[in-house]
Amino acid sequence: MLPQNINAEIITIGDEILIGQIIDSNSAWIAQQLNLLGINVYQITSISDNNKHIINALDLASSRADLILVTGGLGPTRDDLTKSTITNYFNAKLKKDETVLNHIRQLLEPKKVTVNELNIGQADVPDNCQVLHNAYGTAPGMWFEKNEKIYVFMPGVPFEMRGIVKEELLPRLKQYFKSPAIVHKTLMLQGIAESMLAKHIEPWELQLPSNIKLAYLPSPGIIRLRLTARGDSQKALAGLIDVEINKLKPLIEDWFFSEQDEQLEMVISKLLKNNNKTISTAESCTGGKLASLITSISGASEYFRGSVVAYANDIKIKILGVPAEIIATNGAVSQTVVEIMAQQARELFNTDYAIATSGIAGPEGGTPEKPVGTVWIAVSSHNQTITKMYSFGDNNRERNIQRTSSSALNELRKLILLETEGE
């Protein structure tokens, strides 16, 4: 049995990460899996496919952690030196594993791939490791124990690595040690800056029990606020976190939209489905981004009927029926225009709700009266149309489109809640 508070480290081997050719998404996935077991990841290290570097990284990681998980460097091609390096590192000899060899043959033969010596070489494993079966590929996983530390080596191909972790590694780790309890909870907020939120909830943060940690994870328009509690009992921690969240919620109700780790388009998907309502959009400055976000959710066809991206003014007139004189008088970026766009979209698509946007995404196109970042948003239902103006004060086109989209989805969420809570 390992000690209760065990630290893990993840090492990824491969030059393609160090030259920025691929993003290391394996480590985040492994970290999530370990966290769910209560195992803390102390460090993630990406190193090159080099004998000396691998040994140095293993030495350093085992000086800090009890469990060292290594991915990468186990493919069939000659640039993978990992296996000979680790065979030496654990004072082992390579031996042919017949079970692995049979598996390699079974895997390759139906694909009409000739089993060559590179593939056969993959069945050679150090004689003092336990093989972790790789159901989805030819490179086996390997489990070593040395000086009360555990070392696990896996291939870097994501779906192969995930198969080994789920089917072989996690069951072994659960047997090997009893982990401390850990509970995470993530609150999603829209429409407030990180520093303002921090100031606003500071008194609450200062009274948090010492075993609850708070982290801010911001992106344009959205903040994820994560609470993490550690202790002995999963159940007690869940209760403790709930107590703190119940204190926090009244402070953040203007911006809070979910306590699942989910985006606004998913929250809206659930709301519309649960209430059997439909939605459409009429987009100018968001240029299709709103429709694209809404349809990124599988099953969106149940509630999303369509969108008109009315980029040119005469399209606002022709398809959405905005009177030409209203655009001439008020400009396309105006309360009246966005209000009519939303109402007309709702009628055109025959939906319960519609969202409309019109604004200046930039970086060009601003005027002194309507600088870049000026946006009007309307959300409309059978009963009412709510319009709001935003001044994002930002010249960045992509961020202005993102902020407009998240603000619009949040306004829609509020309107649906307002109208369905009494039902």
Restricted to residues 225-254, the positions that interact with a second copy (CB under 8 A) are: 226, 228
Segment interacting with a second copy, rule: CB under 8 A, options 72-80, 92-100, 146-154, 169-177:
72-80
User: In the bound complex, what is the minimum distance in angstroms from residue 419's beta carbon to a second copy?
Assistant: 22
Site for a second copy in 329-368 (CB under 8 A): 348-349, 362-365
CA separation for the pair 161, 140 (Å, rounded): 10
Find the helix packing angle between 82-89 and 51-64, rounded to 10°: 50
User: In the bound complex, what is the minimum distance in angstroms from residue 295's beta carbon to a second copy?
Assistant: 3
Q: Hey, what's the torsion of the CAs at 58, 60, 61, 64, to 10 degrees?
A: 150
Site for a second copy in 374-403 (CB under 8 A): 391-394, 396-399, 401
Segment interacting with a second copy, rule: CB under 8 A, options 87-95, 124-132, 191-199, 231-239:
191-199
Report whether 294 contacts 300 (CB < 8 A). Answer: yes
Nearest C-alpha neighbor of 375 from the set 361, 365, 364, 385: 361
CA separation for the pair 336, 342 (Å, rounded): 10
User: In the bound complex, what is the minimum distance in angstroms from residue 3's beta carbon to a second copy?
Assistant: 19
> Residue 216, interface with a second copy (CB under 8 A)?
yes
> Residue 175, interface with a second copy (CB under 8 A)?
no
DSSP string computed for 224-253: EEEEEEEES-HHHHHHHHHHHHHHHHHHHT
Site for a second copy in 279-338 (CB under 8 A): 281, 283, 286-292, 294-296, 298-301, 304-312, 315, 319
User: In the bound complex, what is the minimum distance in angstroms from residue 117's beta carbon to a second copy?
Assistant: 8
22 versus 243: smaller Cβ distance to a second copy: 22
Total chain residues near a second copy (CB under 8 A):
110
Segment interacting with a second copy, rule: CB under 8 A, options 34-42, 126-134, 233-241, 242-250:
34-42
41 versus 241: smaller Cβ distance to a second copy: 41
CA separation for the pair 403, 286 (Å, rounded): 10
| Residue 371 Cα distances to 252, 378, 390, 394, angstroms | 30, 19, 11, 9
The DSSP H or E segment spanning 153 is strand 149-154
User: In the bound complex, what is the minimum distance in angstroms from residue 123's beta carbon to a second copy?
Assistant: 13
Q: Count the residues in the chain.
A: 423
